[in-house]
Chain A
């Protein structure tokens, strides 16, 4: 096995006085698509936010491409080649679609050019002058993913991209994510939608109460859905 691109060890994180992660341990290999699955409030989104440095306090170790991220500020973490797409998409209402799309600066070589992004996400092409928050949920999700691809980051943190979207749109988002994987992006995906997760992922990390309780390959997940549903409480 190659050296992991991301290695999280004994990660603990707090929101104010409240401890949200209790010693997370997992890794992600280059080119892999790993999901974090678990119940609401298990600590999946907090794990992504911790990697990105958007929590009050964090301890432990997060090594990315050999460099330690604990102690780094959010903008410094982004410059190492990690991009983050939050659960609520965070489309800026004061900017139009074109401004939202081109807002993130190019930080590293290898980012996708704007014209290519519009080819890859054709819905956005037609809405460039619209206010960002006037887009449909699916279009906003595509915009949120598209804009982080121009930075040159090769490691993407995607937080529940299928949440609240119609099945047909979820399918489209799934195809986009598979395409990103085929383009060589490494992806850590938080997902509650199990059928969506198993269609796109290589591996699944199960999170409960701020800890990793299991790690399953996609085939193991297929073979033991009953066990996984117990984890998710469905």
Chain B
């Protein structure tokens, strides 16, 4: 049945899956942090990712700041925008059901994308790769930039996981997720910590956008296209599970790549089939434990 599948094709798709998985992991990580630690279903994550790509593009076109500068500046700018969103839209809804913040962020997506479309149109805009060229791996030609994306996103994911799981700040965040009023009674400004956590998660989306700019066309809808998959990743990994989001991101990227080899017609469906099966068998997600939302 699979006689036509060469090792070259298989390894090539595995690598492409790993590259896509890098984006899935980084975006779902931000989404999981925001949901897991402050209980906001951030529908605007895709739009914030798109903003990261646009900020990188504008920095290059208007200020002459290259990719490497944008890699630092754009997440900070998008994170600051997230902080503004949190203070003006989400903070007043903090004491209401999660559904309200979900609806508010959904409205924010429509506004942000609409405004960006008005200003920049719907057509994708190119962003030159900062690492031209590539290397022949024997089974495929790997552009240097895509290799960089895999390594960099892996470093960011591991660093973020370590920050949340192994540092005092992470302990505050995890504890505040369980009993915010008790953590506040220890003298910690929990509301400010929550706001900054949202900004950090949004900053990760912005960082993802900068990474994506040289690979995908920079367009107002680039986030929406990805968001459906990202939500599926977060649901499969376990809503709010940091490690689950990272591992499932890579896993889904690889599964998607392999499905393209074995049954290309189903490559777009495979993720959602896995999501439904995961929801039926483990409704809390593959990586969530009963005691912890990690």
Contact = CB atoms under 8 A, between A and B. Distances in A.
B175 A95 contact: yes
A78 B185 contact: yes
Contacts of A90: 179, 182
A89 to B, nearest CB: 10
A181 to B, nearest CB: 21
B292 interface: yes
Contacts of B178: 92-94
Interface residues of A, number: 26
A75 B179 CA distance: 14
A151 B171 contact: no
A105 B187 contact: yes
A161 B184 CA distance: 20
Contact of A105 (B174, B182, B186, B293): B186
A75 B294 CA distance: 25
A148 B185 CA distance: 10
Contacts of A151: 186-187
Contacts of B181: 54, 74
A72 B294 CA distance: 32
Interface in B148-201: 168, 171-172, 174-175, 177-179, 181-190
Interface string A187-225: 000000000000000000000000000000000000000
A93 B294 CA distance: 11
A201 B240 CA distance: 45
Nearest to B192: A75
A79 B189 CA distance: 10
A104 B190 CA distance: 12
Interface in A104-120: 104-105, 107
Interface string A66-105: 0000000111011100011010001011110001001111
B62 to A, nearest CB: 41
Contacts of B292: 93-94
Contacts of B171: 95, 99, 103
B291 interface: yes
Contact of A52 (B179, B185, B294): B185
Nearest to B193: A75
Contacts of A77: 185
Counting chain A CB atoms within 10 Å of each CB, the highest count among B172, B174, B186 belongs to: B186
Nearest to B175: A92
B185 A54 contact: yes
A75 B187 contact: yes
A131 interface: yes
Contact of A104 (B177, B186, B293): B186
B291 A86 contact: no
A133 interface: yes
A72 to B, nearest CB: 12
Given A90-B179, A94-B291, A75 B174 contact: no
B174 A133 contact: no
A75 B190 contact: yes
A82 B178 CA distance: 22
A102 B293 CA distance: 21
B187 A103 contact: no
Given A103-B172, A133-B291, A74 B184 contact: yes
B169 to A, nearest CB: 11
Nearest to B187: A78
Nearest to B184: A74
B294 A94 contact: yes
Given A75-B190, A131-B291, A133-B291, A92 B185 contact: no
Contacts of B179: 90, 92
Given A75-B188, A105-B187, A107-B187, A94 B182 contact: no
A217 B188 CA distance: 36
Interface of B: 168, 171-172, 174-175, 177-179, 181-190, 291-294
Given A75-B186, A93-B292, A131-B291, 8 more contacts: A75-B187, A78-B184, A83-B185, A92-B175, A94-B292, A95-B171, A95-B174, A99-B171
Interface of A: 52, 54, 73-75, 77-79, 83-84, 86, 90, 92-95, 99, 102-105, 107, 131, 133, 148, 151
20 contacts: A54-B181, A54-B184, A74-B184, A75-B188, A78-B186, A78-B187, A92-B174, A92-B179, A94-B291, A94-B292, A94-B293, A95-B171, A95-B174, A95-B175, A103-B172, A103-B183, A107-B187, A131-B291, A133-B291, A148-B186
